[in-house]
Chains A and B, each alone.
Chain A
């Protein structure tokens, strides 16, 4: 019928128009978390190098990993992912080697940042920000916690007023560390033990919260939360009584990194971007605005002392950070971790 025909034609034309519109831009494509870089980053980059770049967003590591695996990284030139995923991407042959000769700003990095276990020598990734995981709490409502067990087996005053992270690696890490095991363990007995501890712990928590736990501290809904150090600073910014501490059993160390997909068609420009990111200015911006530590020595050493006083975890030295265990990809043990996490989250 005439209607259908004309419709068919318009669908195809529309598609073609939209398709051509989106492919017109031959820009560098960066995928990052929202608010993790200066808002005018792309303008600054263009001014410094003349290269056009645009930003795509992802909300979690898992999502961008899913997308990259399904699309083989096509369409992206630089991707920000956390360290455990770098190894996986490499083993899946999805990322390219980094040519250090194109990144002179590596001189800004702490020497420790060149010796990260998941990528010694930064051959396939470049570190952007790093930090630890610990306990973020209201110092005016409770005494400083000293152990992971303060979170997992809270005293009566704290029952129902604590939150935990539910992202699998960090949830399990809390269990492992409280028992003195490695956060990367592959021993089934240790996984079971941690699982049992965490199932018990679930009964005393208010909720699992990966994103708004600091808001719960500010409102008083929660008194202590399982938190990444940079996030805790957002709470501190709202209420100076919110403090961060690392339990005596230790914790894990994570790094947010930049990688270049093998299928990128603009690798030279991608390197230029990474180099630009490693400059001192950008490092200072990260610390001031995102309130995360960056492995950029030139930047960290130039920070305002007042900032470091207000946010003590920004003053952690690289050695202190590196003293924590680094999260590694689990290989085939990942299945066991995921199953354990499912059992914990589904338990009553």
Chain B
């Protein structure tokens, strides 16, 4: 069966790296949540839970909920945009697929800051989009497209869309076309095939992509700062402020700790859903399709001989 010692050889280097360069350093910082900010920004080593009490102040809860809402919206929009795009790429001729993927990623080798400034040029009241819309007469007054939630969500979707496309593509391109064909041979209309065969099989890719967008959006601080005009506070800004402006590492550690805890729970829920889907349904679906396909081809043969 699986050689478990060989398995350990595969896992060990990556795991070791994470243990050394992530787990240990982070434990050092998270330990700070039980201490207090010193008067000038250092750490007062007196063990207490005050930071955790502070963290439940409604202001922080409000920011957390807002961030989840905004990140959630961005995630939804990103998936809706990315799925058909990834699907289209997977249908393209093999040798062109890589090029299409590169073209998706290319914009993100320019710099985050400059792209964000470019969006400001596009979205502001005297900007390109408003000017074009006014020129063709769709609107009379410039729209408020900037320094609000709309621009922040646009920015988030924009910056993380390629990641979602890649994740979904990875999943879609793996589906054996025969499975799709079998379903259609059995008379299922295309949308049904999509819904009950393709979509479940690409759930891992969609899940991974959603996680990317959601997690990176919640922790983002540049986009709310520049595209939101600083008018929106998201969890990313909050935590930055604690570590850098307030020089309150202990409280920053507490907030991060809680944030990570919540995210872990969401991820755990998502993993349970995905695993249950995959382990339960797919082998059964495949089996059924195989047997029915066999029947269908038998019927064809019989017809041929007739």
Chain A–chain B contact at Cβ < 8 A: yes
Check A341 for interface membership: any CB of B closer than 8 A: yes
The reply to whether the CB of B39 lies closer than 8 angstroms to some CB of chain A is yes
Q: Mark B216-249, 1 if CB is under 8 A from A, else 0.
A: 0000000000000111110001100111111110
A92 near B41 with CB under 8 A, answer yes
Q: Which of B42, B147, B230, B231 sits near A92, CB closer than 8 Å?
A: B42
Of A163, A167, A331, A346, the residue contacting B233 (CB under 8 A) is A346
Interchain CA distance A219-B128 in the complex, whole Å: 13
CB contacts (< 8 Å) of B247 on chain A: these are: 65-66, 69, 88, 334
A-B contacts, 26 of them at CB < 8 A, read: A1-B9, A8-B13, A63-B244, A66-B247, A91-B39, A92-B38, A206-B147, A207-B146, A207-B147, A207-B231, A208-B231, A209-B229, A220-B126, A221-B126, A334-B246, A338-B245, A338-B246, A338-B248, A341-B245, A342-B59, A342-B238, A345-B231, A345-B232, A345-B237, A346-B59, A346-B63
What are the nearest 6 A-B pairs in CB distance? A207-B229, A208-B230, A62-B244, A338-B246, A91-B40, A346-B233
- Contact status of A69 and B41, CB under 8 A, knowing A206-B147, A343-B59, A346-B63: yes
Q: A65-B41, A342-B60, A342-B238 are in contact. List 18 more A-B contacts (CB 8 A).
A: A62-B245, A66-B243, A88-B40, A166-B230, A207-B231, A221-B124, A332-B39, A335-B248, A335-B251, A338-B242, A338-B246, A339-B59, A342-B59, A345-B231, A345-B232, A345-B237, A346-B59, A346-B66
Distance (whole angstroms) from the CB of A184 to the closest CB of chain B: 15
Query: A338 CA to B251 CA in the complex, in Å?
Result: 12
The number of chain A residues touching the other chain, given as a range, is 35 or more
Task: Tell me the chain B residues, 26-80 only, with Cβ under 8 Å from chain A.
Answer: 37-42, 59-60, 62-63, 66
Of the candidates B63, B66, B241, B251, the one having the most CB atoms from chain A within 10 angstroms of its own CB is B241
- Inter-chain contacts of A208 with B (CB < 8 A): 229-231
B-to-A contact residues, CB < 8 Å: 9, 13, 37-42, 59-60, 62-63, 66, 124-126, 146-147, 229-233, 237-238, 241-248, 251
Residue of A nearest to B243 (CB): A66
Asked if A329 is at the interface (CB within 8 A of a chain B CB), the reply is yes
Q: How many A-B residue pairs have CB under 8 A?
A: 92
Bound Cα distance from A4 to B38, whole angstroms: 46
| Assembly CA distance A35 to B139 (angstroms) | 42
What residues of B have a CB within 8 angstroms of the CB of A207 in the complex?
146-147, 229-231
Taken together as a complex, chains A and B put the C-alpha atoms of A230 and B39 apart, in Å, by 32
Question: Which of B38, B40, B230 interacts with A209 by CB under 8 Å?
Answer: B230
**Contact string, A221-245, partner B, CB cutoff 8 A, digits 1/0?**
1000000000000000000000000
Interchain CA distance A25-B231 in the complex, whole Å:
44
Q: Does A168 contact B (CB under 8 A)?
A: yes
B-side contacts of A168, CB under 8 Å:
241, 245-246
Chain A residues with CB under 8 A of B241? 168, 338, 341-342
Q: Name the B residues within 8 Å of A4 (CB-CB).
A: 9, 13
Task: Please state if B37 and A331 are interface contacts (CB–CB under 8 Å).
Answer: no
A138 lies within 8 A of chain B by Cβ: no
Majority secondary structure of chain A interface residues (helix, strand, loop or mixed): helix
Structural contact, A342 and B244, CB atoms closer than 8 A: no
> How far is the CB of B233 from the nearest CB of chain A, in Å?
4
Q: Indicate if A293 sits at the interface (CB-CB under 8 A).
A: no
A65 / chain B contacts, CB cutoff of 8 Å: 41, 244, 247
Contacting residues, chain A, for B245 (C-beta < 8 A): 62, 167-168, 338, 341
Q: List which A273-293 residues lie within 8 A (CB) of chain B.
A: none
Distance (whole angstroms) from the CB of B44 to the closest CB of chain A? 10
Asked if A92 contacts B40 (CB within 8 A), the reply is: yes
* Bound-complex Cα distance A175 to B261 (A): 37
* Residue ID in chain B nearest A91 by CB atoms: B40
A202 on interface, CB distance cutoff 8 Å: yes
User: Which partner residue on chain A sits nearest B233 by CB separation?
Assistant: A346
Q: Which residues of A contact B125 (CB under 8 A)?
A: 221
CB distance from B52 to the nearest CB of A (A): 15
Q: Are B238 and A66 in contact (CB under 8 A)?
A: no
Chain B minimum-CB-distance residue to A168? B245
The distance in angstroms between the C-alpha atoms of A221 and B59, with both chains bound, is: 31
* Shortest distance between the CB of B29 and any CB in chain A (Å): 10
Chain A residues in 8 Å Cβ range of B248:
334-335, 338
Residue of A nearest to B251 (CB): A335
Using Cβ atoms and an 8 Å threshold, which residues of chain A touch B59? 339, 342-343, 346
Q: Which residues of chain B come closer than 8 Å to A69, judged between CB atoms?
A: 41-42, 247
Q: Note all chain B residues with C-beta closer than 8 A to A202.
A: 231
Could you give, for residues 193-220 of chain A, a 1 whenever the CB lies within 8 Å of some chain B CB and a 0 otherwise?
A: 0000000001001111100000000011
* CB <8 Å contact, B126 and A219: yes
Chain B residues in 8 Å Cβ range of A220: 126
Q: In the assembled complex, how far is the CB of residue A333 from the closest CB belonging to chain B, in whole angstroms?
A: 10
Task: Check if A345 sits within 8 Å of B230, measured CB to CB.
Answer: yes
**Given A88-B247, A221-B126: A335 and B37 interface contact (C-beta under 8 Å):** yes
- Within the complex, the shortest CB–CB distance from B17 to chain A, in Å, comes to 10
Minimum CB distance partner of A70 in chain B: B249
